[in-house]
Structure 1
Amino acid sequence: MDQKFVVVDIETTGNSPKKGERIIQISAVKIENEKIIDQYTTFVNPEILIPPFIEELTGINDHMVMNAPLFEEIAPTLREYLEGYIFVAHNVLFDLPFLQNEFERVGVQPFLGMTIDTVELAKIILPTADSYKLAELAESLSLSHERPHQADSDAIVTAELLLYLLRKAKRLPLVTLEKLADFSIHLKSNIDSLFHNILSEKRNHIEDLPHDIEVYRGIALKKKLNSVKVDHYREKPIYPKTADEKEKIISSYIKSYERRAGQFEMMDIVYDSFQNEKVAIVEAGTGTGKSIGYLLPSIYFAYTKKSPVVISTYTVQLQEQLMRKEIRILSNILPFSFKTVLLKGRNHYLNMFKFEQSLLERDFQYDSLLTKMQILVWLTETVSGDIDELNLSSGGILLWNRIKHNDWHLTKEKNPWVSRDFYLFAKKSALDADIIITNHAMLFTELAQDVKIFPDFSYLVIDEAHHLEHAARQHLSIKLEYIACKFLLSRLGIYEKKQLYFRLEKLVEKHGITVENHVFEIDFMIQELEFALDELFMMFGKFIQSVSKKEQLQPKVKIRLKKDILQGNGWNAVLLGAEQINALMIDVQKGIQERLESLNKESEKLNNKDKAIIEEMYGLMSDFEQLRISIIALLLHPLDHYVYWMEGDKRALPNSIIIQAQPVTVQMQLNEKLFEKMKSVFLTSATLSINQSFHYFKEAVGLNLMSNVIEKQIPSPYDFHKLTKLIIPNDIPEIQQVSLQEYAEVITNHLIGIAQATKGRMLVLFTSYELLRMAHDYMRSSGLLEEFVLIAQGITSGSRTRLTKNFQRFDKSILFGTSSFWEGVDIPGEDLSCLVIVRLPFSPPDDPITEAINEFYKQSGKNSFTAHSLPEAIIRFKQGFGRLIRRSTDKGVVIVFDRRIETTSYGKAFIKSIPAVQMEHGNLSEIIDKIEKWL
């Protein structure tokens, strides 16, 4: 039976009709027989002024609605238009309640029909979408969206989105639809009616599954085809040595190709360093084309030598980009076939056995249900089973932690999903791969563990190499978090009497197994353990309150745990608490381990549901043991040459408390575990050198211990002198000479003037969140930037990626960022034309790691400022500077507020670290004039 839909979108003056906010535009689109048949649109006179932010967002101004009808004039017609249709909106829980409030206000009957939320439906049908915002979904699906945030355009795009989602849902296998229909009864909108309608149609026909889909144990999956390398290239390929040979290969596929001498030079360094088994470091400026620069020679080398090359990156985004873009280009242009796989840690992969059993649970928690539905659809699309493909909510991640791969604890033969296992498939695929793409964290895990995932490899490319030291520290760090401890204990069953631990106990009883510790004893020990952990973290909370200075306004504190603290009397109570926790954990582990081993012996009698419980419990015990090891290393037996600290937010104690330790230096570990194990390593990044030297980088990662390291700087092909102007204001005080509040007021005046000159499109980089917040608040309250959208890290909600995308959506926007925005943010073109660096990016001297490293250098007889603090700040400055020019057609200004860049002897080192640019000075009015002329 055909369902009739009316897709509605409204634009309003704000979010709350109860507080007097009103509709300014409404549009409704009718769909019958899966076709758009009509659209009703009108502006509405809200009888109040439209706020500047809403005008900037929607493009709708007071003049446009001045002569429009009032809502009470259109309400009866609109209500009649909705009658008999399913009400659809993109976030129906906003549009419909707002509309119902307005109907009530003017005395019109509310809408009483069914609803569909296209956000909710898109999450299920498009589980791998990057975003569920309407504009971004429209862009990803190539739906024309001319005027985002105007109701007529939004409504028609939402209607087209609904039709797309319906068509895709109808193509899903019957077994998938049956499960989705069953789960969807518990969703927030009436999506169950859609699925049941599609099911009734589908059951009238015999289903022909697509050739690449199979149904196994009642779940539809995309078939995994073992890719066998087929090579039709009979002659051994010869690496293209000359520039003309390289250009012939690359230009054959890349449109409007421009020869880049630096890229060709990089290719030769990679190939030669592999051939001669050397370590090479190359700093490649923006626009060099470094991904192709190292991939092409790596592929030639791996293919001809029959030896895999591993490519390690820091970010998931770059891994995905390499697979999606550069590898695809090279597979089209090279005259031979090669095989590439992407390898990640075991926890990235779905455990199908655990997932199958989770589907049998009557768990109606919303996030859990939605995630299961997303995974059911995803399984018809994914070959990898890698969580990074999915867009899960934070609640969905909790479910993933239960169904992710840990290891097999029952024998593989008894796991019915072994033949379809994603993790095993990834390992098998890697065996004959030429190129293996991974990340730094996974690389360190592989090098450290006994059970190997990768095939044997001796040739390695490290991209984003400036992160190598940090990644090694993270890998070797030890962490204890209150929230993580509580979550782990909750999985033992201390909060709900029928959670994992008690399900395990029922199995013991069911199979008549006799155990040493009775269930009541273990229950008591778990409760004692939770109480002891709470006590421990309450002590930490009191410690944070007492140590952090009373005058310290910042709520977030970080306290280094030095020897005088760890050996003081006040710490004795912490040690006693830790010893009690360790003893309790050992007893709990013994009790649960005894049950698991006994059940394992009875594995012939276990059904699949029982086995899944045991698998999950083994994974939990592994996490439990890791927690115990962390407590020992952090509290009972601290490690030498590690720096220890505690951090927390004074507004949320003890929930926010984290205790952490990291090695002071990773030189020896990297040298022994990485460089000495490889025949050849090639390291590259855009920011590795300082004053034409790689000394700082080499020392940080242990390459100073090796001889004959090849070093090369390849400058950017862009003409920065023509593209960029560096401006240093001369009317900003030194920050040490005024209070933080005065400094914030001065820079706010400058930022307002600069924003008006650049019309937004401005990224402002801070080193202090407190200063960021003050500047943001002053700018917002000034009343001079009402038509601008201010987006601030830590104030505006959302991830770095989401904040950046929102910044790009608005013509007049300003993005405020701290630490993570200094690098990795890619905003090409006119979206970003002004970069402001508020302070030179020195790490706070009292930061625990900075303080410990500085002590390490002092003990070595070196000046810690010139050996560490200054080089680290220069690298970050280079990274910040690199945000502005991302393409040869970009143009912009960089403004540095920190006068130290000119007033100190070390300031010149910052200017020397960036490409040669035009440099100017001036007061605020002169700066504004220069910017307007330049842009």
Structure 2
Amino acid sequence: MRFAVVDVETTGGHPAANGITEIGIAVVEGDQVVDRFHSLVNPKQNIPLNIQALTGITPEMVADAPVFDEVANDVLSFLESSVFVAHNVNFDYAFVKEAFKGVGIKFEATKRLCTVQYTRAVLPGLPGYSLSKLCKKMNIQNENPHRALSDAEAAAQILLFVKNLDRKDLLSHRLKRRSSVASFPKYIDRKVVDALPNSEGIYYFHDKKGKVIYVGKATDIQKRVKSHFTSTSTSKFYQDLKREVRDITHKESGSDVIAALMEDHEIRHLWPRFNRAQKRNPVYYGVYAYRDRSDFWRIGINKVNNSYPPIKRFHTLHAARSWLLKTVEKYELKAEFCDLEFAVYGTDDIYLHNEHFEKMQREVESDGRSLIIPQKGRSKSEKGFIFVEKGEYKGIGFIDSDVSISSIDEIEQHLQVRKSSIITEQIIEKVLGQIPAHQLIELS
């Protein structure tokens, strides 16, 4: 049997919003690694500083790297006719599948194996099952942790180590279970699941009181819902979810991008008990400006409140500080008037500072495009759209396919207004990097 052990490094934890920065594959046949593949990947989006610190992969390193489209065929050749293996396989598989989808390739690994779950089945009771802890326990060298090929080779060695101890052939059992018939929860009629559409959208699991306890997104709603019931996981999360679900409803989206935006909104709106991510109250940081007693403009950063509008709003303090530093240097503002100790290209002339500040304020106020991002509709008679106003996500909508859009007024009655979040910003950034500029509709 051939195993393709995969590891990807990414710009974040959401496949629909984030991208791959590096992929490594170690191919296992028999009792050894027989082939390898490695490539940095240009994700066409920013790499957050905390991830740069974790992986060591910087924007400069991927600037000239191939985009996924350029390595897709090579990656596919390593994965075809192989069991897709990864340490926490759902994470890596979701990113790889999404990356293939982004370049028009439908990728489906019929057999997948998680080295965490497999190791736990063969060697229960270990203090931990993270890659680093298992490498230490099994005396496996991982020379470059959090880099794709090194982690893939370490996971491959874990697979070989555990296979050698698998006296009950649990491996074959786990691979068979993945293709087994869905085991439906006690209170769910199979007809309800079979009636779900094979299209993009979101789905809701309800408890006995009708309350939504879980929201998920899918490119194929029926298939994704069934996957919850064929999962080999014995975690308390999956067992509790199966036990409590009483009904399943859905909403079609027309596209996976709109589905991801819908999911983010519903999780923040409904706060389902079994959704772990996206449930924190968002904290925004604003760059504020005010005139001091000497009539000079000063700038500072604070948490956003409703009493006074900021010049610009950010989802993280780091993003606000980074923007402020770049702005001070770009417009040659006085650093100490902007809550900064030093700026390379700032000015010490307080009168020039005021003049430059007013120029900056005018340009920032006019900054940010208002545009429509076209998407597929839920049927042939309609088309979907995403609305971005002055650079900020404002919502989604659906409109008749024969209606053209050229102004904000034309979409107003069709717009489902939504709030922006870190997740939606990442989704918008990613889709703007994928859609050709000529397909975007600039609004006046």
Q: What is the TM-score when the length of structure 2 is the normalising length?
A: 0.41
Larger radius of gyration: 1
- TM-score computed with the length of structure 1 as normaliser: 0.20
